[in-house]
């Protein structure tokens, strides 16, 4: 009897150890994960069965991705399982406990079953299954027995990529769709137009891409210091997507459960637009000193279309009509942010329009413009999205709001309280154009640090909202603005791994989130997967942050070191040599002689340096 108890204890212990090993590998973290006894082993005879309804779409994805994960080209069949063991079954069910896009994953010794009520759930369940397959272990294709129940917290789990300020080619977009869909992000928002470029072909207005997609090269000059282009300069920087490109992107995304959301930014951020068609500018303003060239960098005066010209609305209706026909998404984003009113205030046309319509100020003039664009969008049977500035003036009922501002403005409260469906895009937690480590160690970017742990800590639903108001929060989205990402490599560096943190914020319930677990998941599995897929991700989570104060009276520096990563040790030197795990271990604030060169790094228990070495002179700048 004692032997039986001991044997059972060993089995239970082995299951517990296995559970601890694997729980930390799933991103985003599922609702519930229970590990069971026994493993499923892939081999060349493993078969896959997919419902006929989803076969055409799922088969090529499953085939290619499983070949990558296991090395096997497995037989994929339609319909119900026709063998008794060694198979994977995708099963369509009507289980009320499974939400849209949710799934159940059951792994046993003889079979794997993914249950879902829709295509999206099957796709998402398969992505979780992929994460359970060991990576970089040749010949090892066993998956521990498990039962997973999982449903998304939010229906909107988004990523915005600004392709206007720095154009990224179609193949790069497809690559990112592959990555983000594997983490259950389901909205890919393309910021297609801005002052620095128009990136989508509009057949009725070819000048939008003939001129608006190209700007003069100022690549060797800081973004905010660039001079405007002249009419005679050659314009070599840019690019655009043809409508065929867009169709390919949309279809590629569709079968990966990703919806492409287009954004055309008006009435501000429209320098490329008015450069292409100057008649969109207020015609009664003296334009002798107005530059009608695509902006080369951050400064872009005279970048608004005229709200008092009927041609503006006729033109934009044509553009919106083409875009609406091209994109199957029910959403169309029209921007509406950061609109300068300087030129409108010079226009007698605008003044007359305001008087005629009883508009008390220029915020209400913007509302007038936005409301008219909203009617154009509705005419195309689309739901208009706008940045939260569209709430100003008289608002625009029927729109969906992306709430990005914080502080003096409180759109995260105002929008849902006023009945607007709201997507949280807080610049404090979600603008990953901000650097992700100590500023002096990171590539050029805004002078704000947004580390991985802060993205992960985001709570999209403000505690101040009532339950009814909170129900209007559609979800969460991270945004990469592209002022400082001129290359594909830099773009990926800013995207990852912070997009993975945002994916878990968007999918997982707060009670299953845990920073230390997420950190370990990246280290155990996901960095390896990003390496395999040639993703240039950042390891800034391993950075050491220095802070110090210099006491000039005694020529002393008081030094404080910190890191966001849990479970490792900081070692440092003051003699100019690179630190190792045999150097001085940081245990708390210390005082040393001023003007010394501090070098510090984060090390694991095996003595391996995990990130870049922090290097700083302890002196008053």
Q: What is the pLDDT of residues 21-31, one digit of tens each?
A: 455 699 999 99
Q: What is the pLDDT of residue 384?
A: 98
Does 267 sit behind a cis peptide bond, omega within 30 degrees of 0 on the bond before it? yes
pLDDT at 8 over 70: no
131: domain CATH number? 3.30.379.10
pLDDT at 184 over 80: yes
Q: What is the pLDDT of residue 20?
A: 40
Q: Is 557:618 a contact under the CB 8 Å cutoff?
A: yes
Does residue 280 belong to any structural domain of this protein? yes
**What integer is the mean pLDDT of 410-421?**
98
Confidence of residue 106 (pLDDT cuts 50, 70, 90): very high
Does residue 441 belong to any structural domain of this protein? yes
- Are 458 and 351 found together in one domain? yes
- Are 336 and 360 found together in one domain? yes
Overall domain count for the chain: 3
608: domain CATH number? 2.60.40
Q: Please say which residue of 483, 508, 533 terminates a domain.
A: 508
- Are 257 and 319 found together in one domain? yes
User: Catalytic one among 251, 338, 464, 562?
Assistant: 338
User: Catalytic one among 166, 269, 374, 458?
Assistant: 269
Does residue 521 belong to any structural domain of this protein? no
- Are 265 and 403 found together in one domain? yes
- Are 468 and 575 found together in one domain? no
Q: What is the pLDDT of residue 19?
A: 42
- Are 244 and 171 found together in one domain? yes
How far is residue 269's CA from residue 253's CA, in Å, rounded to a whole number? 27
| Tens of pLDDT, residues 484-505 | 999 999 999 999 999 999 999 9
State the residue for tokens 């049977």.
381
pLDDT at 17 over 50: no
Q: What is the pLDDT of residue 621?
A: 80
Q: What is the pLDDT of residue 421?
A: 98
Percent of the chain with pLDDT over 90: 94
Q: Is 217 helix (H, G, I), strand (E, B) or coil?
A: coil
Domain coverage including residue 98? 2-150
- Are 87 and 161 found together in one domain? no
| 468 belongs to the catalytic site | no
The two tokens of residue 229 are 């282009």
- Are 497 and 547 found together in one domain? no
Q: Please say which residue of 508, 530, 556 terminates a domain.
A: 508
| 269 belongs to the catalytic site | yes
Task: Quote the radius of gyration of the chain (alpha carbons, Å).
Answer: 27
Does residue 101 belong to any structural domain of this protein? yes
**What integer is the mean pLDDT of 349-363?**
98
- Are 60 and 14 found together in one domain? yes
Does residue 528 belong to any structural domain of this protein? no
Does residue 520 belong to any structural domain of this protein? no
Sequence-ordered list of residues with C-beta below 8 angstroms from that of 192, at least 6 positions apart, any chain: 163, 164, 198, 199, 200, 241, 262, 263, 264
Q: What is the pLDDT of residue 135?
A: 85
How far is residue 288's CA from residue 181's CA, in Å, rounded to a whole number? 49
Q: What is the pLDDT of residue 141?
A: 84
294: domain CATH number? 3.20.20.80
- Are 142 and 160 found together in one domain? no
Parallel, antiparallel or unpaired: strands 237-238 and 214-215: antiparallel
Q: What is the pLDDT of residue 169?
A: 98
Mean pLDDT, all residues of the chain: 95
Q: What is the pLDDT of residue 138?
A: 59
Confidence of residue 6 (pLDDT cuts 50, 70, 90): very low
Over the range 328-337, which residues count as b (16 or more CB within 10 Å of their CB) and which as e?
ebebbbbbbb
Percent of the chain with pLDDT over 70: 95
- Are 245 and 366 found together in one domain? yes
Q: Phi, psi (5° rounding) for residue 342?
A: -60, -45
CA atoms within 13 A on the CB side of 174: 13
Q: What is the pLDDT of residue 608?
A: 98
**Cα distances (angstroms) measured from residue 530 to each of 178, 182, 495, 514, 516:** 11, 11, 12, 21, 20
User: Catalytic one among 101, 150, 194, 483?
Assistant: 194
Does residue 292 belong to any structural domain of this protein? yes
How far is residue 454's CA from residue 435's CA, in Å, rounded to a whole number? 12
Confidence of residue 618 (pLDDT cuts 50, 70, 90): very high
- Are 225 and 314 found together in one domain? yes
Does residue 526 belong to any structural domain of this protein? no
Q: Is 295:223 a contact under the CB 8 Å cutoff?
A: no
| Tens of pLDDT, residues 544-576 | 999 999 999 999 999 999 999 999 999 999 999
pLDDT higher for 137 or 605? 605
In 3D space, the residue among 539, 541, 415, 527 whose CA is nearest the CA of residue 470 turns out to be 415
pLDDT at 15 over 60: no
The two tokens of residue 282 are 């207020």
Neighbours of 202 (CB within 10 A): 23
Q: Phi, psi (5° rounding) for residue 345?
A: -70, -15
Q: Please say which residue of 129, 150, 171 terminates a domain.
A: 150
**What integer is the mean pLDDT of 41-48?**
95
| 69 belongs to the catalytic site | no
In 3D space, the residue among 197, 226, 227 whose CA is nearest the CA of residue 294 turns out to be 197
């Amino acid at each position: 009897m004692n032997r039986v108890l001991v044997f059972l204890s060993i089995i239970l212990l082995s299951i517990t150890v296995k559970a601890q090993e694997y729980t930390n590998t799933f991103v985003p973290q599922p609702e519930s994960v229970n590990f069971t006894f026994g493993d499923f082993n892939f081999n060349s005879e493993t078969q896959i069965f997919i419902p006929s309804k989803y076969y055409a779409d799922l088969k090529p994805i499953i085939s290619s991705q499983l070949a990558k994960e296991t090395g096997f080209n497995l037989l994929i069949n339609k319909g119900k399982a026709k063998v008794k063991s060694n198979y994977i079954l995708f099963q369509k069910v009507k289980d009320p406990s499974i939400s849209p896009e949710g799934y159940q994953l059951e792994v046993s010794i003889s079979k794997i079953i993914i249950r879902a009520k829709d295509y999206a759930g099957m796709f998402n369940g398969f992505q979780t299954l992929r994460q359970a397959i060991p990576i970089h272990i040749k010949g090892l294709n066993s998956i521990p027995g498990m039962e997973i129940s999982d449903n998304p917290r939010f229906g909107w789990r988004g990523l915005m990529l600004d392709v206007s300020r720095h154009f990224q080619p179609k193949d790069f977009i497809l690559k990112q769709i592959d990555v983000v869909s594997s983490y259950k992000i389901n909205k890919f928002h393309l910021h297609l137009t801005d002052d620095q470029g128009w990136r989508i072909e509009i057949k009725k207005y070819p000048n939008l891409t003939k001129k608006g997609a190209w700007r003069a090269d100022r690549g060797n000059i800081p973004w905010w210091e660039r001079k405007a282009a002249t009419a005679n300069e050659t314009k070599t920087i840019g690019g655009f997507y043809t409508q065929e490109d867009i169709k390919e992107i949309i279809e590629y995304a569709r079968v990966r459960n990703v919806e492409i959301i287009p954004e055309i930014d008006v009435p501000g951020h429209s320098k490329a637009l008015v450069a292409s068609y100057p008649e969109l500018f207020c015609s009664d303003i003296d334009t002798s000193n107005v530059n009608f060239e695509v902006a080369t960098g951050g400064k872009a005066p005279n970048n608004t279309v005229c709200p008092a010209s009927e041609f503006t609305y006729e033109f934009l209706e044509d553009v919106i009509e083409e875009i609406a026909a091209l994109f199957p998404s029910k959403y169309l984003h029209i921007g509406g942010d950061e609109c300068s009113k300087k030129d409108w205030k010079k226009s007698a046309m605008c003044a007359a329009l305001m008087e005629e319509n009883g508009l008390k100020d220029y915020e209400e003039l913007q509302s007038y413009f936005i409301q008219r664009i909203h009617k154009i969008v509705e005419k195309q049977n689309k739901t208009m999205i706008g940045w939260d500035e569209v709430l100003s003036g008289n608002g625009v009922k029927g729109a969906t709001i992306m709430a990005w501002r914080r502080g003096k403005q409180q759109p995260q409260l105002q929008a849902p309280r006023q009945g607007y469906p709201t997507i949280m895009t807080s610049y404090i937690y979600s603008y990953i154009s901000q650097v992700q480590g100590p500023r002096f160690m990171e590539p050029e970017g805004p002078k704000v640090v947004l580390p991985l742990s802060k993205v992960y800590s985001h709570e999209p639903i403000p505690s101040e909202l009532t339950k009814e108001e909170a129900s209007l929060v559609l979800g969460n989205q991270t945004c990469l603005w592209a002022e400082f990402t001129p290359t594909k490599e830099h773009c990926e560096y800013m995207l990852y791994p912070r997009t993975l943190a945002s994916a878990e914020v968007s999918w997982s319930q707060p009670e299953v989130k845990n920073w230390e677990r997420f950190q370990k998941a990246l280290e155990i599995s996901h960095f390896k997967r990003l390496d395999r897929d040639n993703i240039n991700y950042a390891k800034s989570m391993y950075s050491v942050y220095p802070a110090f104060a210099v006491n000039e009276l005694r020529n002393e520096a008081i030094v404080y070191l910190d890191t966001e990563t849990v479970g490792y040790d900081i070692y440092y030197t003051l003699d100019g040599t690179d630190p190792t795990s045999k150097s001085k271990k940081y245990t708390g604030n210390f005082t040393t002689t001023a003007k010394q060169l501090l070098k510090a790094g984060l090390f694991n228990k095996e003595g391996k340096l995990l990130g870049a070495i922090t290097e700083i002179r302890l002196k008053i700048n």
